[in-house]
Amino acid sequence: MDTTSLIGKDLAASLNADTKARAAAITAQGAAPRLALVIANDDPASVWYVKSLNRAAERLGIACENVDLGVDATAEQIRAKLTELSADPTVDGIMLQTPLPKGVGLDDVSSAITAAKDVDGVSPLSLGLLASGLPGFPPATSEAVVELAKFHGIPLAGRLVTVVGRSNVVGKPLLQLLLAENATVTIAHSRTANLSAVTTPADVVVAAVGRAALITADHIREGAVVIDVGTNEDDNGNITGDVHAPSVTGKAAALTPVPGGVGPVTTALLMRHVIQAAESTR
Amino acid sequence: MDTTSLIGKDLAASLNADTKARAAAITAQGAAPRLALVIANDDPASVWYVKSLNRAAERLGIACENVDLGVDATAEQIRAKLTELSADPTVDGIMLQTPLPKGVGLDDVSSAITAAKDVDGVSPLSLGLLASGLPGFPPATSEAVVELAKFHGIPLAGRLVTVVGRSNVVGKPLLQLLLAENATVTIAHSRTANLSAVTTPADVVVAAVGRAALITADHIREGAVVIDVGTNEDDNGNITGDVHAPSVTGKAAALTPVPGGVGPVTTALLMRHVIQAAESTR
């Protein structure tokens, strides 16, 4: 069967057009919406991502400030900075970059980001608000999966969606968003005894484990929709997903490309969160 | 096949013996551990439950205080009382009874219970701490399901567990606990298109929907373990579960009785949480 490519560009463009207009309206009332990126690493992938966020923000009229605490920052220093930015009325959104310095866990520090500015939904409270169905920001990547599916007309209500990956930043919040869409959800992970037994029955398979080419044609039924959240770097520095695209193509009804699928939508949603934070707190 | 009855009494007794000893040790240092039950209803089931909690606490040496705000209490009044009890150093644990007055949602008020005293894990922050794998109290019912399974030697790691029900008080927190046990988890609910398609492959089926006799032999495979969280009152005032026990018996490898399965373990875990709260905050 023909496999539709679930590209993210059109949805991202539509979100960005809206964000740009709302950013301009906010700026007209005072200062531009402002996002603080807190950085405590010199990881090449993170450096690249920060640059791409800086560019995206600039294009949309969002002021984006890099707050670099250095690779030796302690949990206390990171918490103190996040607390300070949380209290700073000129900052609308806060995003903490990973990886964090050795010995500092995201969970040790993320609770210092106030929920109203936690635009990537990483704090325990943000996760809990999401699970409770209360207002808060979901992690942008997990939201991008759902929004991309909806944009491409993929039904979720009553369908069986298997999420491979149980991370706090993708798998678990995605599960909450999928339940809110009335999907039946299976969550599989590294300890799942028989992965294909739980992916094969699924109408939609979401791969979010960070292992290149983990999901092959053997893992999906004919006509399944496959959404690839993975961004793995191969030996040549190219980004590849968690899905082995050549094998799945022709069997899946639809597949997100990597790059160009979930990624651009994630950035667009993150920027929209900054606007929403500014609109609700100013 | 013979269906083992997964009774809760032995585990509850073992938990209670430990709780009673720890309560006595706390009392020897000062005041008895203290649980505040906040009530704003005259619902017969709630009244019955409060009495049973009062009796359980008394047997274990826990001071249990009923704080009755009346059936007309507003969200503001309930929040104010929960905030006051959260700040009161003589109170170790707080439990808000449901149902709440008309128009007051649990989510509107539960965040006023500080996480350190939220012994039934109902606040958004408690849910988020659970999802993040951070210290906090899980809702006692969901914890009882996992503890009862472990007590009876039922393996969870790598097994497929289907939870029927997605409530914030049972289904969703249970999912987090099961993931922490390395189970592969499917969560089904009222909008699931084909329930038996997701319960039949499961090694363990947990019924937590509040619909009497929803789960029958047709929903399970031969040899599955069935855990029944339901407590439905029939026309004669008897408590029945979400599982149709006569039909499942003989096909399931094991089944929790209702009453006498998850229920007593839930109460025992709730009381243990009060002790843990007292031990960690005094």
- The DSSP-derived string for A223-237 is T-EEEE---EE-TTS
The C-alpha of B185 sits at a distance from chain A's nearest C-alpha, in angstroms, of: 5
**Cβ contact B172–A176 (<8 Å):** yes
The C-alpha of A175 sits at a distance from chain B's nearest C-alpha, in angstroms, of: 9
* B192 touching A (Cβ < 8 Å): yes
Residues of A in contact with B130 (CB under 8 A): 128
Calpha distance B195→B209 (Å, rounded): 12
What is the ipTM metric for this complex?
0.94
- Reported as a pLDDT band with limits 50, 70 and 90, residue A261 is very high
The C-alpha of B47 sits at a distance from chain A's nearest C-alpha, in angstroms, of: 26
pLDDT digits (tens, 9 = 90+) for A100-138: 999 999 999 999 999 999 999 999 999 999 999 999 999
Q: CB of A158 within 8 A of CB of A181?
A: no
Does position A234 have pLDDT exceeding 90, yes or no? no
Spell out the per-residue pLDDT of chain B, length 282, in tens: 999 999 999 999 999 999 999 999 999 999 999 999 999 999 998 999 999 999 999 999 999 999 999 999 999 999 999 999 999 999 999 999 999 999 999 999 999 999 999 999 999 999 999 999 999 999 999 999 999 999 999 999 999 999 999 999 999 999 999 999 999 999 999 999 999 999 999 999 999 999 999 999 999 999 999 999 999 988 898 999 999 999 999 999 999 999 999 999 999 999 999 999 999 988
* A159 touching B (Cβ < 8 Å): yes
**Cβ contact A186–B184 (<8 Å):** yes
> Do A31-116 and A140-263 show the same overall fold?
yes
**Cβ contact B158–A125 (<8 Å):** no
Would you tell me how many other CB atoms lie within 10 Å of the CB of residue B155? Answer: 14
Q: Where are the domains of chain B?
A: 31-116, 140-263
The CATH homologous superfamily for domain A31-116 is: Leucine Dehydrogenase, chain A, domain 1 (3.40.50.10860)
* A113 touching B (Cβ < 8 Å): no
Q: What is the CATH number of domain B140-263?
A: 3.40.50.720
**Cβ contact A159–B193 (<8 Å):** yes
